[in-house]
Chains A and B, each alone.
Chain A
Amino acid sequence: MLALWGVKMEIIKVEGLKKYFPVQKSFLEVLFSKELQFIKAVDGVSFTVKKGEMLSLVGESGCGKTTVGRMLVGLEEPTEGRIYFKERDITSLRGEKRREIQRHIQIIFQDPYASLNPRMKIGEHITDPLLIHGIATNEEAKRMAIEMLERVGLVPGEQFYNRLPYQLSGGQRQRVAIARAMVLKPEFVVADEAVSMIDVSLRAAILNLLMSFKEEYNLSMLFITHDLSVAKLVGDRIAVMYLGKIVELGEVNEVIHKPKHPYTAALLSAVPSFEKRDLRVGIFGDVSNPIDLPPGCRYNPRCPFAKDECRKAEPELIGTDRHSFACHYPLDIVVE
């Protein structure tokens, strides 16, 4: 009924998601200090992804974006927070129930060399999910796998079916990873830096392939990347993460052309482009420390606009669906 009104359904909803990792201590540290320190990899992240929508999740290394993706597919258990799939709470699902949901939520990893089983035929990587979820029998599954291999550009499918991973190039392996994720016709796919390890001239092919699946299946996707150019290209909406929190979230063109958070603006200023804009928002320092978080806004040590308030209170994510941000003194700029 919602669809009749043109309101798109929420496929994924994440509320206050947190993941804390205990810090490994050396023997002496264990002896002499009692308190447990945590790396707050993900520290309260909330967003939704609607049907047919692509959300780009961007941030530099260590910001927690990969951990968010892993929690969504069940590879990591949230320390706190809720994950909803089609309005159903799946946060603590395990075993058989989890598997039922698993077929609708898939992931494509960054490293095409490590994500395939060296001792398993290419085709079997694709039939496996089908067999696991009882969608097809052996013969059927093989047929579907060959079809899917050709769909992702690995022709002839029969030949590729029988090959082993070491016989394929990086780009080809990534296509296999995509085939594996898509064969189940999932509703939601997480792409974790899916093209970062692919040669530049081949990235367009992989990105276009992903986009074609998105169109064909009306997929919802979470595209995790550190590359803002790619994020903007593929995303309908974009979320910018910094040290475990989302600092800005909204429609791609809104965020890119009217950045509110100084970090977003700093990123935009630094991204190389053939047509660089006259945006020059700076940032102090090279790195941020995820263990020793400063009081107040965690971005304040690096922010050129930090004021008193920023060192006292953490800003909340406020705004509309179209554009929200977490900053006490948001910028007011427009980039043409």
Chain B
Amino acid sequence: MMSLLEIRNLSTYYHSRRGVLRAVDMVSLSLDEREFVGIVGESGCGKSTLAFSIMRLIQPPGEIVEGEIIFSGKNLLELNDEEMRRVRGKEIGMVFQDPMTSLDPLEKIGDQIVETIQMHEDIGKKEALEKARELLESVGLPGNRVNYYPHQLSGGQRQRVMIALAIALNPTLLIADEPTTALDVIVQEKIMNILKKMTSEGRSIILITHDFSLAAEKSDRIVIMYAGWIVEMGDSKKLVNDPLHPYTKGLLESVPDLWLERRIKTMPGLPPDLVNPPPGCKFHPRCPKAMDVCRKEEPPEVQVNGRFVKCWLYGV
């Protein structure tokens, strides 16, 4: 079965005054149809940059320096601007963290959805408006909200509008970058359920979040990123029950959990400087299991029981 999305050796760098920042550093990952993948990591790990790279929304001083992003058989990095514009929205939709800045405060919700639809499809306004109503209902909002302005809706409602906009053209892949971070837990649950439902409707979802337990609960597969690398990746349940990479383990043990009875352990150290990362394994200064080789050489990428790990503990 061909994957829906296949990323090979993707690297995205930012050129800053201090030097080159390797936001995404030789990342490879694939996504199947109807799969829900969660990308987890702390701020600066590169997860958002990865999402923007897939959408080719990276602006200078950022730059995709190498790699391939194969979506539905075509390499997105080889498309011209016009072709990529058509991919965005129609084949890949994206939901961002802050709905307020993505919605036009002066236009009614319905009109904004209609605009998006009409940009890609040749249908009349009436038909498009009807579709807009349906879309709103599919995300749990009453259809009459088409006549509302953004400021008349709550944060959770606006985020649902963003999701409606993102799926308006029926994309096969939806990327959600911290979609519920600013929202309360009850709204978060409802929105997550909407996203989860979409996989059964044939869509694939990439959820980007710093909330490990959220990703663990909702995704089929989890990707753990650290300083631009993927350090571990695999089935959610298995990964949480038996973490292989010390960073994953450390993260798991440091996150407060409502139902787990345990004290949390402090993760030592600070996230690394992406311009001058530590030599060898970027995680070694914070790693309780760091060995000599970790300080010198980049760890290999291996498969352990169907799980991907980038760590010398499992290297040959």
Question: Which residues from chain B contact A205 at a C-beta distance below 8 Å?
Answer: 266-267
How far apart are B56's CB and chain A's nearest CB, in angstroms? 28
Tell me whether B186 and A283 are in contact (CB under 8 A). yes
Question: Which residues from chain B contact A276 at a C-beta distance below 8 Å?
Answer: 217, 259
Tell me whether A229 and B257 are in contact (CB under 8 A). yes
Known contacts A204-B267, A228-B258: does B184 contact A61 (CB below 8 Å)?
A: yes
Known contacts A60-B186, A287-B156: does B257 contact A200 (CB below 8 Å)?
A: no
CA distance A274 to B156 in the complex (A): 24
Whose C-beta in chain B lies nearest to the C-beta of A234? B256
- Which chain B residues (187-243) contact chain A, with CB distance < 8 Å? 187-190, 210-214, 216-218, 240
Q: In the complex, which of the residues A171, A208, A270, A283 contacts B264, with contact meaning CB atoms closer than 8 Å?
A: A208
Question: Which residues from chain B contact A228 at a C-beta distance below 8 Å?
Answer: 185, 258
A184 within 8 A of B: no
A136 within 8 A of B: no
Q: In the complex, which of the residues A200, A268, A275 contacts B210, with contact meaning CB atoms closer than 8 Å?
A: A200
Known contacts A205-B266, A273-B259, A287-B156: does B210 contact A199 (CB below 8 Å)?
A: yes
Q: In the complex, which of the residues A199, A207, A227, A274 contacts B43, with contact meaning CB atoms closer than 8 Å?
A: A199
CA distance A259 to B256 in the complex (A): 20
Question: Which residues from chain A contact B256 at a C-beta distance below 8 Å?
Answer: 203-204, 207, 227, 229-230, 232-233
Tell me whether A207 and B212 are in contact (CB under 8 A). no
Known contacts A60-B186, A204-B265: does B260 contact A272 (CB below 8 Å)?
A: no
Tell me whether B214 and A201 are in contact (CB under 8 A). no
Known contacts A267-B185, A286-B187: does B266 contact A273 (CB below 8 Å)?
A: no
Whose C-beta in chain A lies nearest to the C-beta of B255? A200
Q: In the complex, which of the residues B190, B254, B260, B267 contacts A274, with contact meaning CB atoms closer than 8 Å?
A: B260
A245 within 8 A of B: no
Tell me whether A200 and B42 are in contact (CB under 8 A). yes
Bitwise interface map of B from 95 to 106 toward A, beta carbon under 8 Å scored 1, else 0: 000000000000
CA distance A226 to B251 in the complex (A): 21
Question: Which residues from chain B contact A227 at a C-beta distance below 8 Å?
Answer: 185, 256
How far apart are A175's CB and chain B's nearest CB, in angstroms? 12
Most chain-A CB neighbours within 10 Å: which of B185, B190, B250? B185
How far apart are A202's CB and chain B's nearest CB, in angstroms? 7
Most chain-A CB neighbours within 10 Å: which of B218, B250, B266, B267? B266
Question: Which residues from chain A contact B266 at a C-beta distance below 8 Å?
Answer: 204-205, 208
How far apart are A1's CB and chain B's nearest CB, in angstroms? 35
Q: In the complex, which of the residues A200, A204, A208, A226 contacts B211, with contact meaning CB atoms closer than 8 Å?
A: A200
CA distance A221 to B211 in the complex (A): 26
B138 within 8 A of A: no
B2 within 8 A of A: no
Tell me whether B186 and A275 are in contact (CB under 8 A). no
- Which chain B residues (24-53) contact chain A, with CB distance < 8 Å? 42-43
B157 within 8 A of A: yes
Most chain-B CB neighbours within 10 Å: which of A200, A201, A208, A269? A201
Tell me whether B264 and A207 are in contact (CB under 8 A). yes
Tell me whether B258 and A273 are in contact (CB under 8 A). yes
A266 within 8 A of B: yes
Question: Which residues from chain B contact A202 at a C-beta distance below 8 Å?
Answer: 42, 267, 270
Most chain-B CB neighbours within 10 Å: which of A169, A229, A232? A229
A133 within 8 A of B: no
Q: List 27 A-B contacts (CB under 8 A).
A: A60-B184, A61-B184, A200-B251, A201-B267, A203-B256, A204-B265, A204-B266, A207-B256, A208-B266, A226-B185, A228-B258, A233-B256, A269-B189, A270-B189, A271-B185, A272-B188, A272-B214, A273-B213, A273-B257, A273-B260, A274-B240, A274-B260, A275-B260, A277-B259, A286-B156, A286-B186, A287-B156
Where the two chains meet, the residues of A that have a C-beta atom closer than 8 Å to any C-beta of B are 60-61, 169, 171, 199-205, 207-208, 226-230, 232-233, 256, 266-277, 283, 286-287
The 7 closest A-B pairs by CB, nearest first: A270-B189, A204-B254, A60-B184, A272-B214, A229-B256, A272-B213, A233-B256
Q: Name 4 extra pairs, CB < 8 A, besides A60-B186, A204-B265, A286-B187.
A: A200-B42, A229-B257, A229-B258, A270-B189
